[in-house]
Amino acid sequence: MSELVINNLHVKIDDNEILKGVNLTVKQGEIHAIMGPNGTGKSTLAYALMGHPNYNVTKGEAFFKGKNILELSPDERSHLGLFLAFQYPVAIPGVTVANFLRTAINAKWRADDPANKGIRIPEFRKLLKERMDLLKMDHSFAGRYLNDGFSGGEKKRAEILQMVTLKPEIAILDETDSGLDIDALRIVSEGVNALRGKDFGAVIITHYQRILNYIKPDFVHVMLHGHIVESGGADLALRLEEQGYDWLREKYDIVSP
Q: What is the pLDDT of residue 178?
A: 82
- Per DSSP, the three-state class of 139 is helix
Sign (positive/negative) of CA torsion 14, 15, 18, 22? positive
Residue 255 scores a pLDDT above 80: no
Dihedral, CA of residue 163, residue 167, residue 172 and residue 176, to nearest 10: 20
Residue 194 scores a pLDDT above 60: yes
Distance of CA 128 to the CA centre of its chain: 21
Of 3.40.50.300, 3.40.710.10, 3.30.390.30, 3.40.30.10, which CATH number belongs to 3-251? 3.40.50.300
Residue 88 scores a pLDDT above 90: no
Yes or no: say if 55 and 11 are a contact pair by the CB < 8 Å rule. yes
Mean pLDDT of the chain: 94
Q: What is the pLDDT of residue 184?
A: 82
Separation CA 65–CA 207 (nearest Å): 30
Question: Which H or E element spans position 156?
Answer: helix 152-166
Out of 62-66, 91-95, 171-175, 252-256, pick the least confident: 252-256
Residue 257 scores a pLDDT above 60: no
When pLDDT is averaged across residues 24-32 and rounded to a whole number, the result is 98
Residue 96 scores a pLDDT above 90: yes
Separation CA 24–CA 32 (nearest Å): 10
When pLDDT is averaged across residues 102-107 and rounded to a whole number, the result is 96
Q: Structural domain boundaries of the chain? A: 3-251
Q: What is the pLDDT of residue 256?
A: 56
Strand 201-206 and strand 31-35: the pairing is: parallel
| Interval 74-83: pLDDT, tens | 999 999 999 9
Q: What is the pLDDT of residue 243?
A: 94
Contacts of 156 (CB under 8 A, 6+ apart): 85, 89, 176, 177, 179, 180, 184, 188
CA distances from 131 to 104, 139, 163 (A): 15, 10, 10
- Higher pLDDT among residues 38 and 1, named by residue: 38
Question: Which H or E element spans position 46?
Answer: helix 42-50
Separation CA 200–CA 184 (nearest Å): 22
Please name which of 216, 195, 190 lies closest in space to residue 204, comparing C-alpha atoms.
216
Yes or no: say if 205 and 42 are a contact pair by the CB < 8 Å rule. yes
Please name which of 84, 76, 54, 69 lies closest in space to residue 6, comparing C-alpha atoms.
69
